[in-house]
Amino acid sequence: MRYYYSADQIRSAEAPLLAALPEGKLMRRAAFGLATAIARDLTTVAGKAVCAVVGSGDNGGDALWAATFLRRRGTRATAVLLNPERAHARALAAFRRSGGQVVDTVPAATDLVIDGVVGISGSGPLRPEAARVFDAVHAAGIPVVSVDLPSGVDVHTGATDGAHVRPAMTVTFGGLKPVHALGPCGRVELVDIGLDLPPSDTRGFEDVDVAARWPVPGPTDDKYTQGVTGVMAGSDTYPGAAVLCTGAAVAATSGMVRYAGTAAQQVLAQWPEVIATSTFTTTGRVQSWVVGPGLGTDETAAAALCFALEADVPVIVDADALTILAAHPELVDGRSTATVLTPHAGEFARLAGAPPGPDRVADTRRLADRLGVTVLLKGNVTVIAEPGSGAVYLNAAGASWAATAGSGDVLSGVIGALLAAGLPAGEAAAAAAFVHSRAAQLSALDPGPGPAPTSASRILAHLRTAVGSIL
């Protein structure tokens, strides 16, 4: 599990180490890890040229110490001091003793720039002088490694409000911060500096976490005990939504899928294992409902949503059903079983009264609390919030291949199947989002050799491969 910590939590965990260790020891420990990560990135260290762009305070000290360690290994090291009077004195002295040179601008022959301008206590965009330096660096195509976080990016939200560094890699210390999932950090490497950090309530699944939760049939399981997923999706106008959503539920687990709607024939043509009827009143018993993709917003669709929400089973509300729910939020009042909403930004705005702002985590939490439901806010970084003091899950897709028509229908089917199998709402949504993004990546790479445009149908076709790669 990846856990994400606030700046205050990191500082609190650092305090006992700072008190116990000799002065400067913790900084040098962090900087050595930074230098090691940079050396791996450079492959060959001797003869390479590194330039540290240094702000005031400890972040600049980390950059100077890392440049010093690299200089001792044969790297040509320079440093641009944005505020010479406030540069970390001990680190600057060590840098100069190692043969490092202070310069006015980043040399043209530089192989890598270390961004040591501001750390986790900073806020706001880059100041003009720093912005000019990094504009030139980015224009020259010199790769950047940021210390702890990209300067000019908010540590809590990952938001940018003006000039900011765009690194190829970010090296952080002790624990991940929300910016490392939410912001433009490039590849993120975490250096262990000995902090004692408990699990946090902001987290992200990894392969092992999904594998531990994914329903795998045991020797006594049958199609009913593995979960029966009900799907109400599609219409005469959008039958494909029913095919995609139902197919995803079929692919996600080994239980049973029941479909109710006007696209029954199209669904059966693609998925003959589905039990399909034309109306929800004749569907039979299910252990979860997926309602909304391509369903429409007429009275029939509203009746389908009401029917599902009145049942004592988990319900995932998506697409058109979210539009209905936005007009009638009282439909989820007092539900005793899990409800999961999966809005994109526009649907979120209808539900919340405003689109998600820079702090997507806080906004998602507020909507979850207000409605008493689990909310999955779609995006390149999916944010999943449970009501009350529950966990928040962040799923950074790493690419936008899943941003394609019908992709959300596939995601909804997977979540519905996991809910039917008995997973808690937040974990079901997080595991589904993880597998969905893995399937999107696989579909974009198949048949290779490089990534290529994909589609919802291709994502669906790679779901089983994605699950298999995790299990």
pLDDT at 52: 98
Residue 98 labelled as part of a binding site: no
Burial of 265: CB neighbours in 10 Å, binned 0-12, 13-18, 19+ = exposed
pLDDT at 79: 98
Could you identify the residue written with the tokens 């709607």? 261
pLDDT at 298: 96
Half-sphere exposure for 120 (CA within 13 Å, toward CB): 22
pLDDT at 465: 97
Tens of pLDDT, residue by residue over 257-307, are: 999 999 999 999 999 999 999 999 889 999 999 999 999 999 999 999 999
Tens of pLDDT, residue by residue over 315-344, are: 999 999 999 999 999 999 999 999 999 999
pLDDT at residue 84 tops 90:
yes
The structural domains of the chain, with segments of one domain joined by +, span 2-200, 207-470
Residue 402 labelled as part of a binding site: no
Residue 83 labelled as part of a binding site: no
pLDDT at 450: 80
Half-sphere exposure for 20 (CA within 13 Å, toward CB): 7
pLDDT at residue 57 tops 90:
no
Residue 68 labelled as part of a binding site: no
Closest residue by Cα to residue 340 from 365, 367, 310, 376? 376
399 falls in which pLDDT band (50, 70, 90)?
confident
Residue 243 labelled as part of a binding site: no
Query: What would the mean pLDDT of 348-373 be, rounded to a whole number?
Result: 97
pLDDT at 447: 82
pLDDT at residue 361 tops 90:
yes
C-beta contacts of 208-212 below 8 A and 24+ residues apart? 209/1, 209/431, 210/431, 210/434, 210/435, 210/470, 211/470, 211/471
pLDDT at 281: 86
Residue 146 labelled as part of a binding site: no
Residue 408 labelled as part of a binding site: yes
pLDDT at 389: 78
Query: What would the mean pLDDT of 351-366 be, rounded to a whole number?
Result: 97
Give residue 222's identity as a one-letter amino acid code. D
Backbone dihedral region for residue 254 (phi beyond 0: left; psi -120 to 50: alpha; all else: beta): alpha
pLDDT at 400: 79
User: Please, which residues have CB within 8 angstroms of residue 41's CB and are 6 or more apart in sequence?
Assistant: 112, 143, 145, 168, 169
Topology of domain 207-470, CATH:
UDP-N-acetylmuramoyl-L-alanine:D-glutamate ligase (3.40.1190)
Residue 114 labelled as part of a binding site: no
d(C-alpha 277, C-alpha 264), whole Å: 6
The percent of residues in the chain predicted with pLDDT above 90, rounded, is 92
Residue 60 labelled as part of a binding site: yes
Residue 119 labelled as part of a binding site: yes
Give residue 417's identity as a one-letter amino acid code. A
395 falls in which pLDDT band (50, 70, 90)?
very high
Rounded to a whole number, what is the distance in angstroms from the first to the last CA of the chain?
16
pLDDT at residue 470 tops 80:
yes
pLDDT at residue 116 tops 90:
yes
pLDDT at residue 419 tops 90:
yes
451 falls in which pLDDT band (50, 70, 90)?
confident
Identify the H or E element spanning 392. Answer: strand 392-396
Q: Examine residue 449 and say whether the peptide bond preceding it is cis (omega within 30 degrees of 0).
A: yes
Distances (CA, A) of 143 to 137, 138, 169, 471: 8, 8, 8, 36
pLDDT at 462: 97
User: Please, which residues have CB within 8 angstroms of residue 12's CB and are 6 or more apart in sequence?
Assistant: none
CB 294 within 8 A of CB 235: yes
Q: Which of 115-119, 202-206, 417-421, 446-450 has the lowest mean pLDDT?
A: 446-450
- For the chain, what is the mean pLDDT? 96
Give residue 173's identity as a one-letter amino acid code. F
Residue 436 labelled as part of a binding site: no
**What is the CATH architecture assignment of 2-200?**
3-Layer(aba) Sandwich (3.40)
Residue 409 labelled as part of a binding site: yes
Cα radius of gyration (the chain): 25
Give one DSSP letter per residue of 217-260, joined into a string: --TT--TTTT-EEEEE---SS-HHHHHHHHHHHHHH-SSEEEEE
Residue 337 labelled as part of a binding site: no
Closest residue by Cα to residue 266 from 235, 295, 296, 293? 235
Query: What would the mean pLDDT of 2-14 be, rounded to a whole number?
Result: 96
pLDDT at residue 468 tops 90:
yes
Residue 48 labelled as part of a binding site: no
Residue 115 labelled as part of a binding site: yes
pLDDT at residue 176 tops 90:
yes
Residue 125 labelled as part of a binding site: yes
Residue 380 labelled as part of a binding site: yes
d(C-alpha 299, C-alpha 305), whole Å: 10
Tens of pLDDT, residue by residue over 232-260, are: 999 999 999 999 999 999 999 989 999 99
Query: What would the mean pLDDT of 388-402 be, rounded to a whole number?
Result: 86
User: Please, which residues have CB within 8 angstroms of residue 182's CB and are 6 or more apart in sequence?
Assistant: 157, 158, 159, 360, 361, 381, 394, 396
pLDDT at residue 401 tops 80:
no
Closest residue by Cα to residue 233 from 266, 195, 184? 266
